Each structure stands twice: as C-alpha cells, then as structure tokens.
Amino acid sequence: MTMKVLVVGGGGREHAIARALSLSEGVILLSVMAKRNPGIASLSSEVLIERETNIPSVLKFALSREADYAVIGPEAPLEAGIVDHLQEKGIPCIGPTLSAALLETDKAFCREMMQRHGISGCPHYRTFYSASDAIGFIRDYEGDLAIKPIGLTGGKGVRIMGEHLDREGAVAYVRSLGGNVVLEERLIGEEFTLQAFVDGKHIVPMPLVQDHKRAFEGDQGPNTGGMGAYSMANHSLPFVTEADRRNAFGIMRDVVKVMEDAGTPYRGILYGQFMNTAKGPMVIEFNARFGDPEAMNVLSLLESDLGSIVTNIVSGSLSEHDIRFARKATVCKYLVPEGYPDAPLTGEPLTFSNDSGAFLYYANVEERDGIFYTQTSRTLAFVGVGDTLGEAEESAEKAARSVKGRIRHRSDIGTRALLEKRIAHMKEIR
C-alpha cells in the first residue's frame, strides 16, 4: 500500500519531517514551500513552490495530486485555516483546525482556557486590548513582567520587563503593539520543551529537548527562532525530575481533554514550552506544531515509522506502544548568516563537507548551480547523535565547523559547561 503525504513548509523542521516520512513504508512525498529547500525537494516526488498560506493554491495541488494526508510544519498556514480547508475536501491533516490551533495563535485564549479549567502551570496573567489599560498596569506593577503580543510573532515577540526592557521601554513596547498584550509574571527557572503526538484523545510524549533562543554563546544577544537544541539518552534532562516530567505531561494531557470536551479536539503535534521553576513546571506557551529546531532532535531518534504514526493519528488509534525513540543523545546546531537575526548577510556562498556522521537538515538556503547561499533566516542545521551528550555534541560541532562562509553557530550548545550551568541554576532556585 502506498500513501501520498503532503508536507507543508520549507524549513529545517520540515526537512526532518520529510526525511522521517521518506523512510516510512510506502510513503510518496509531495511538498509545498515558499522557497525551494534542497533537502526536502530531493526527497519529494513533486514540489510546489508557493507561500504555505496561499490556501487555494495548496488545496488545488493537494487535490490534483491526490494527497492522502497532509502534515503541516509551520504555524502560519495553521492560522490561515489550512487544516479546515484540506479536511473539508477529504484530506486528513496532522495539525489542528483553526479552533484547536488557537492554543498557539491566541495567547489570551490559551491562558483563559488554562485558568477556566484549573489546569496547573498557568502563571498569573492579565489580558489587555487597550494601550492605556496595559500601561496603567505596568506603571503600578511591582516586579518583572513578560509582555506577549496576543497573536503570532515567529517566536520573537516576547519581551521581559526586568531583562530586555526597563519600565519605560515596556510602556513603549506595549504602545507599539496597540495594547493587545498578555502581561504575565516573569517565571524564573530552566526552560524545556515537551512535544507529543495527539490524535484528539490519546497523547504520546516525545523525548524532552532544551532549545536555545538567544543568538550568542552564554545566552547573550537577541532572541531568535532557536539556535539549536539538545536531548539526552534517557529522554529527560538533568534539571528535570521524573515528577517534573510527569507534571508537564499531565498538563498537556489535561489540555487535550479540555479541547476534546469543548468539541474542538486537538489533532497533530502539541508542543509544550515549560519553565521548570522552584514550584515545578509552569507553561510558557503551547505551540500547535513541532518546534524548530526541536523537531530535528526527536525525529533523528524516531525508530518507528512516521507514516504509520500519521495514519494512527488520523484514525484515532495512537498508542505509546507503537512509538519508539532511540535511547541516544542529540545535539542540533543551526548555522545562521552573520548578523542574524537583526541584519543577516544574505546571498553569501557556503561550502562544506559533512563527514562527521551528523544529520544535515537544510533550512533557509538557496542552491544555485550546486552552490549554497545564505538567505535571511537560519541556513542549515546539523544534528549529532551519540550514546552520550558529549559524543553527540562533538559530531554536531565538527560538522558545523566544517562550513566555510559568512555564517556562524553557537559552539556552546550541548557542551558539558553549559549543562553544568543549567544544573547549578536549578539547584540554586530549588
């Protein structure tokens, strides 16, 4: 039996999805992306170059090529309602409908849902739709605040008063957002990501991952889409106890239950971003899709057939017994253009020879006549896999260093020194 699966999106995350699907029994890949990703294209039987949010065009392609399923990588097409449209035409999707994707696309919805249903891990927050009200609140607030635009921002919209901004900076930022913000207590701790497969009712967790949002070594500089991430062979993290992991997973299970009871069942990948605090895991946000880079870590470990997981999600028969990840560590390092994220150097040629055994995932890179050029966003990523974090890091770092050109990466991701810092931080706050 063959099945045609359409992968929507053209980044490193989607390359990892496409690779895992391409290893699956009987899967024929179709893909749609705004710019040709050479990795995904080489795995696809056919590629449509189109904005992923151009629903009519994606729909036409999917129908004319008789796609059996679609896997939605990024959040923008989810917010544009791609799943509702594809499913209406009989193409089931791995990705939530508009009403279920609100978990990610509307930060106010997410917090209100958690509070209304008494789901644990919700920080103190207030929602505002007026600049003067939000500014009044900021002026009177004692302590640090996270300022979140209500809608999607590509992971770059949150500012922390007390870290990135002083009080006047916070006021100016809220004004620039027209006052449509969630303001919430600043959580202190260590962040981790828990992703899960969800079929509307059943939820199966993946290994924990820690992402690195800041552009530079030592978590300095501006926030980015994510510079790289690591995971450990035991599928947990050394600053997360078994109770923490269970609590985080319990929160996600509660969310899935609430969505089901509300008549808007959640189907797809649920991504929980947690802050492990002195009191245990608190929810920073949910995403309605795999993380990028986190997808590359976990999918490089997936031993089960992603094609079968897709069909099980659609039929509502997802079971943890069918999903296995290798008990190995991973380190993912993104190469980004010099100047990224504020002023990326684009059109710069790259050369590399990947002989370290790391997985190579292409992202925002252009291939012309066999030469690769940087674009505005993250260029390509290497994922090292090893029995220990050290081995995985060495493999990813060696591969990243082999790339010549005006690009850079964070050499500290997955290193012992950084891990020790995280562990010490957690000890200090607990």
- Indicate the residue type of 309: I
Of the candidates 51, 45, 55, the residue with the CA atom closest to the CA atom of residue 10? 51
Q: Which is nearer to ligand GLY, 92 or 155 (CB)?
A: 155
d(CA 269, CA 291): 9
Contact, 337 vs 346, CB < 8 A?
yes
Examine residue 190 and tell whether it contacts ligand AMP (CB under 6 A).
Answer: no
Residues in CB range of 174: below 8 A, 6 or more apart: 128, 131, 134, 135, 138, 147, 181
Q: Which is nearer to ligand GLY, 95 or 291 (CB)?
A: 291
- Residue 408: name its binding partner from ligand AMP, ligand GLY, none (Cβ under 5 to 8 Å by kind): none
Please give the residues from 246 up to 305 whose contact with ligand AMP meets the rule CB under 6 A. Answer: 273, 284-285
Cα angle at 340 between 284 and 354, to 5 degrees? 100
- Residue 226: name its binding partner from ligand GLY, ligand AMP, none (Cβ under 5 to 8 Å by kind): ligand GLY
Q: Which is nearer to ligand GLY, 294 or 393 (CB)?
A: 294
d(CA 122, CA 68): 38
% helix, strand, coil for the chain, step of 5: 35, 30, 35
- Residue 186: name its binding partner from ligand GLY, ligand AMP, none (Cβ under 5 to 8 Å by kind): ligand AMP
Q: Which is nearer to ligand GLY, 30 or 282 (CB)?
A: 282
d(CA 321, CA 308): 12
E strands, 76-189, in order: 93-94, 125-129, 145-149, 159-161, 180-185
Of the candidates 37, 35, 362, 410, the residue with the CA atom closest to the CA atom of residue 226? 410
Q: Which is nearer to ligand GLY, 199 or 292 (CB)?
A: 292
Q: Which is nearer to ligand GLY, 190 or 305 (CB)?
A: 190
Examine residue 73 and tell whether it contacts ligand GLY (CB under 6 A).
Answer: no
Please give the residues from 97 up to 136 whose contact with ligand AMP meets the rule CB under 6 A. Answer: 123
- Residue 244: name its binding partner from ligand GLY, ligand AMP, none (Cβ under 5 to 8 Å by kind): none
Alpha-helical regions (H) of 130-241: 131-140, 167-176
Q: Which is nearer to ligand GLY, 4 or 13 (CB)?
A: 13
Tell me the site size for ligand AMP, rule CB under 6 A: 14
Examine residue 170 and tell whether it contacts ligand AMP (CB under 6 A).
Answer: no
Tell me the site size for ligand GLY, rule CB under 6 A: 7
Residues in CB range of 394: below 8 A, 6 or more apart: 356, 384, 386
Please give the residues from 153 up to 182 whose contact with ligand GLY meets the rule CB under 6 A. Answer: 155
User: Which listed residue (155, 307, 344, 386) binds ligand AMP by CB under 6 A?
Assistant: 155
Please give the residues from 212 up to 231 whose contact with ligand GLY meets the rule CB under 6 A. Answer: 226
Residues that bind ligand GLY (CB under 6 A): 155, 211, 226, 287, 291-292, 294
Q: Which residues bind ligand AMP (CB under 6 A)?
A: 123, 146, 155, 157-158, 160, 184, 186-187, 191, 213, 273, 284-285
